[in-house]
Amino acid sequence: MSDGDRDADGETGDGGETAAADDTAAAVDPEEVRHVADLARIDLDDDEVERFTDRFAEVLGYFETLEEVPEVESEPSLTNVMRPDEVHESLSQEESLRNASETEDGYFKGPKVS
């Protein structure tokens, strides 16, 4: 993730075919997939790492075409709207806990922080 020159071969046009995948295959290695999976908190077995490495190369190669998009000025579509806090009816503690696999004393119970 830290090497900075992975956009070297700007594959343009309709990427995503095998040529694009081959061009960018070097840009994604299994370690990178493992690192992203670690960030996303999803365990992967070795077969999955292999499959996702190929998939990353193909899809990211396709995303390269976005480099052709010009800078577009747009007005921000979102503005902050403030209002005072108000107390409303909400779920009861019991309802909120109903789907938890483990609870204790009215709280969610998670794995130990070792």
Partner 1 sequence: MATDYNGYITAERIEGDEEGALAGRTVAVKDNISTDGVRTTCGSAMLDDYVPPYDATVVERLKAAGATIPGKTNMDEFGMGTTTETSAFGPVENPAAPGHVPGGSSGGSAAVVAAGDADAALGTDTGGSVRCPAAFCGVVGIKPTYGLVSRYGLVAYANSLEQIGPIAPTVEGAAELLEVIAGPDDRDATTRDAREAGASDGDGEDGNGPGDGDSSGGGAYDYATAADGDVAGLEIGIPTELVDGAEPAVEETFWDAIADLEAQGASTHEVDLESLRYAVEAYYVIAMSEASSNLARFDGVRYGQSGGYDGNWNETFARSREEGFGEEVKSRVLLGTYALSAGYHDKYYKQAQDARAWIKREFDEALDDADVLASPTMPVTPMEMGESLSDPMKMYLADANTTPVNLANLPAISVPAGETDDGLPVGLQLVGPAFGEKAIIRAGSALA
Is residue 67 near partner 1 by the rule CB under 8 A?
Answer: yes
Is residue 46 near partner 1 by the rule CB under 8 A?
Answer: no
DSSP state of 11: -
d(CA 29, CA 37): 13
Is residue 9 near partner 1 by the rule CB under 8 A?
Answer: no
Q: Which amino acid is at 8?
A: A
Angle between helices 46-63 and 30-39 (to 10 degrees): 90
- The site for partner 1 (CB under 8 A) is made up of 1-2, 4, 7, 16, 32-33, 36-45, 48, 51-52, 55-56, 58-60, 62-63, 65-74, 81, 91, 95-96, 98-102, 108-114
